[in-house]
Amino acid sequence: MSAPGALLAQPPVQSGGKGLAAQLTLALICGGYAVGAAFGWGSEQVALIMGDFGLCAAGLLAAVSCYHYARTNDSRERPAWLLFAFSSLMGAGGNAVWGWYEVVLGRPVPEPSVADFAFLCFAPPAIVGLLVLAKRPVTRAGWVCLALDSWLIGGSLLTLSWSLALAHTAQTAQSGAPGSVPRAALSLAYPLLDIALVSMVLVLHFRRSAGNRSAVNTAIAALALTVLSDALFTSPLLRASYQSGQLLDAGWFAGSLLLAYAPWGARRFHHVPQGAGRPRGARPVSRPITGSLPALTPYLAAAVCTLGILYNVVDGRKVDRVVVFTGCTVVLALVVRQGIMLLDNIALTQELAQQENHFRSLVQGSSDVIMIAAPSGTLRYVSPAAAGVYGREAEELVGSQLSALIHPDDLGRVVHEVRRFLAAPPAEEPTTRIECRFKSGSGEWLNVESTVNRHHGGLILNSRDVTERVRLQAQLQHSAEHDPLTDLPNRALFTRRVRQALTGRRAGDHSTAVLFIDLDGFKAVNDTIGHQAGDELLVEAARRLQDSVRAGDTAARLGGDEFAALIQGDGSRDRSAREYQVHEIADRLRTTLSQPYRIAGSEVRVAASIGVAFADPGITPSDLMRNADLAMYRAKAGGKDRVELYAPQMQAEVVRKAELAGRLRSALHDGEFALLHQPVVSLATGEITAVAAQARWRSTQGILFTPAEFLRVAEHNEGPDGPVAPAGPAAGAGGRTAELGRWLLEEAVTQAAERHRAGHDIPVSVRMTAERLLDRAMPHGSLEALLTRHGLPSGALVLELAVSDPRVPFDDLERRLAALRRLGVRIALDGFGSGYAAISALRRLPVDVLKLDRGLVEGVVESTRLHKITAGLLRIANDLGMQSVADGVDLPEQVTALRAMGCSHGQGMAFSGPLDEYRLRRALGRSTFPVPGGAAQPALAGGSLGGSLAIRRGSHNETPVPPT
């Protein structure tokens, strides 16, 4: 791995073009002033104007600039710039006074004057402003050291200045000459204030805050230039020959303009964040001399003080008391400062040792591995935890390359992340996190998560072993995408792979196919030999399916006994050849899955129905899977154990079923169903003994359809291939059948109760399947509550029970029927003689009435065999003491034949068709129908209830609405 610190460097921050232009303009103005002053400005009068009012204008400009900057910037530096503005204003006022005397009045400036007062007021605000800009000490010792450093520098400069010039000025003041004392005081005040200002400049240069450094440095340079010019002015050699407009004024002029430029010129530079200006992440350039100047300042000051004393001694002068006193105080300040520094260093050393012990304890006791990598990628430090985490001693890892320990497949990603991290600003992204595989001492690869920080151009890595977490995440991910029983991909993963096949590199390959597979007869396996055996069969079927598909294909379990397979396309453009190839693959899968299974020591057989759909252009994954599902249902409806290819008309059938289901839903909710009753007549007397409730749906054309007719159309296909199980929206027809059954039962009981209150004590029979009677969705006790609510007497309700499913639990059904019989509900076994295990139901269930299937009644006259079967069944009913009802008695010959066989009751068009409530009450008023001895006509045969009302089994004839 390449050196992390040299991966990416940040280009140096450049100032804008406007900032450079401003600097050049400032340099040209200052240079022009200096040239003019050097050559005397061409005349004495111009020199006086430029030397007085020119400096005044520059001072005013600096004052206005600093004041405006302070007003527009609300920060902790604001008071400093206000003080600088006041200081510049004082300097401008002094120069204005000089100009008034020299230019306007044309006479020398008196000593002392107002100008001297203004000049003396220049230094104190500037000193206080520098204090505001300085980094404030946080302890008392810091404040003491700041004061001592200021005195060390100021005292040393005072010693040197006193020895060179100030002593002579003081002696002149002592001579007693008129006016000598004020002049000497002024002469001493200027250098003393300059010394104080220089001291603050030097001290605060090393203590300035990290704020607007460019503006602060420029301001310090401006004040330093002004102080230097003041120092030259106060020297006896220059002061005696000084005149306004000379070259010395160029220093004051440049200092004022530089101070005016300081706050605004710094703004023209782009903000440089901490650490910028050098390659990001690179090792900072060390500057030992610059970094040592603050520590050397006291010694340099003492050296200057010593030079001042030596100058007097070497020159043969008597050592001045001021020099001695100042030197002693400087030495004393140095000793005190060194004592404070010594105590501070001792405290820092102890604190450092304590922190080092804490750090060592934390590092050595941490379960995470802490590593420090040099910019070259070499490990410089590894914590002892490496032995427990990596199985390698820390000493063994130190000096090795970090790249040699990272898995080759992860190395490129790690290097990319390190480069990106080092290129990011540290303030925005102080750390990053990297996961990779790390080589352990045993040679295996561990999953390691590392938190990475910058460290002197290199990296600090805080690493921990997350192998178990990664394994757990992989297991959870696998569990979320795979079936727990067969370990095949589940529906979610299969759908994602279908989407990838349709949108990936093979998006234009329309030879990709999806197979939906359903195991026919699997539910019977669960019901007969148990769910454990069913699970074993599913596992074996999944294994066969997985072994049968190609390596690039996907086999999945969608749920229950439904499987799927994604057959990747081969780029073939011949659709018919590809369909033939995929059909062969599907047929081979069907044969494989239909082979006998050895489960629990016995042989079990199931079949497989497979639907195939191809990826047509623009198809979505959900549509492709839906097409395969429809084809699979068509295969099941076509006889099962077969392969069916999807055709577009299958979707059209689904749409038609959905429309029919919507019509049925609207009919149920909008009250379009009507309840009719067909009389049940005694074959011996013609008396009406009961009425059978039947529901009809009233179409928009005023025609009534039977529910069986409508639901058969809604739930099944009328094509030549036979019925198709419901799919999609039509699949909810079973729920609507149950809703219709509830409506039928409640309406029949309600109308029967009204007839009983009107004096017609005729039982009503309602057909109900055994599955519906045992349905858990039907509230327990709802039938009992319905009878109680309407006050229907005992024996007034007959339930015609249809048992068509061999899996109905007879124990539960027997208990349910026994409870209903105790309430007076009579039980009729519907469809006797056809369907499932009628004899078994008759043997176990508490039945009162046997209702012969209409299929036996239709051919009882023509077929001798059917005549004997029907006669035998009727003898069973008579022997058991049960009533018998023949359903579908439509012809007089059937009445005669059934009565001769011993059938007690009949229901059919030979007597009456289904009647509405009005016509039913008319029939009940007559109470009997004529029983044909020969070719008899049924009662109420006229009008719309005549022979045109004949309803044949399985037909779709429409029954007109009876007149009211």
State whether residue 174 is helix, strand or coil: helix
pLDDT at 906: 94
Helix (H) or strand (E) holding 370: strand 369-373
Distance of alpha carbon 395 from alpha carbon 723, whole angstroms: 79
Distance of alpha carbon 450 from alpha carbon 616, whole angstroms: 48
Q: Which residues lie below 8 Å from residue 209, measured CB to CB, with a gap of 6+?
A: 77, 133, 134, 135, 216
Q: What is the CA radius of gyration of the chain?
A: 56
Give how far Cα 426 sits from Cα of 419, 420, 435, 455, 679, Å. Answer: 13, 12, 21, 11, 94
Q: Length of the chain, please? A: 964
Percent of the chain with pLDDT over 70: 72
Angle at 909 between CA 907 and CA 914, to 5 degrees: 75
The 10 Å Cβ neighbour count of residue 76 is 11
Assigned token pair, 289: 């001399």
Q: What share of the chain is helix, strand, coil (3-state, %, to 5)?
A: 55, 15, 30
Distance of alpha carbon 800 from alpha carbon 907, whole angstroms: 13
State whether residue 645 is helix, strand or coil: strand
What residues pair up with 693 in beta bridges, in sequence order?
677
Position 669: which residue type? H
For residue 112, say if its preceding peptide bond is cis, omega within 30 degrees of 0.
yes
Conformation bin of residue 767: beta by default, left when phi > 0, alpha when psi is -120 to 50: beta
Strands 607-614 and 602-604: unpaired
Q: Which residues lie below 8 Å from residue 40, measured CB to CB, with a gap of 6+?
A: 47, 245
Strands 673-682 and 905-907: antiparallel
Q: Cβ(244)–Cβ(233) under 8 Å?
A: no
Q: Cβ(6)–Cβ(375) under 8 Å?
A: yes
Q: Cβ(870)–Cβ(888) under 8 Å?
A: no
146 phi and psi, to 5 degrees? -65, -45
Give how far the C-alpha of residue 4 lies from the chain's centroid of Cα atoms, to the nearest Å.
Answer: 32
Give how far Cα 626 sits from Cα of 219, 495, 647, Å. Answer: 79, 11, 12
Position 862: which residue type? E
Question: 901: closest CA among 937, 852, 855?
Answer: 852
Distance of alpha carbon 278 from alpha carbon 11, whole angstroms: 7
Distance of alpha carbon 175 from alpha carbon 181, whole angstroms: 9
Give how far Cα 694 sits from Cα of 677, 714, 746, 768, 887, Å. Answer: 6, 19, 12, 11, 13
The 10 Å Cβ neighbour count of residue 798 is 25
What residues pair up with 369 in beta bridges, in sequence order?
463
Weakly modelled stretches of the chain, pLDDT under 50: 1-15, 173-174, 176-181, 184, 186, 268-293, 713-733, 934-964
Residue 938's Cβ-count burial label (10 Å; 0-12, 13-18, 19+) is: buried
First to last CA, the chain: 98
| pLDDT, tens digit, 9 for 90 and up, residues 753-789 | 999 998 888 999 999 888 888 877 676 678 888 888 9
pLDDT at 801: 87
Assigned token pair, 22: 């401003």
Angle at 331 between CA 328 and CA 335, to 5 degrees: 135
Assigned token pair, 833: 């003689």
Assigned token pair, 209: 């805050």
* Residue 455 DSSP one-character state: E
Distance of alpha carbon 858 from alpha carbon 870, whole angstroms: 11
* 597-600 contact pairs (CB < 8 A, 24+): 597/537, 597/540, 597/541, 599/525, 599/529, 599/533, 599/536, 599/537, 599/540, 600/529, 600/532, 600/533, 600/536
Give how far Cα 512 sits from Cα of 488, 545, 569, Å. Answer: 20, 18, 4
Helix (H) or strand (E) holding 799: strand 797-802
Q: Cβ(162)–Cβ(322) under 8 Å?
A: yes
Helix (H) or strand (E) holding 185: helix 180-205
* Residue 717 DSSP one-character state: -
Position 925: which residue type? G
Sign of the CA dihedral with 207 first, then 211, 217, and 218 last: negative
Strands 554-559 and 562-567: antiparallel
pTM above threshold 0.85: no
Rounded (10°) angle between helices 123-133 and 180-205: 10
The 10 Å Cβ neighbour count of residue 169 is 20
Assigned token pair, 223: 């004040």
Sign of the CA dihedral with 207 first, then 208, 213, and 214 last: negative
pLDDT at 936: 37
Position 134: which residue type? A
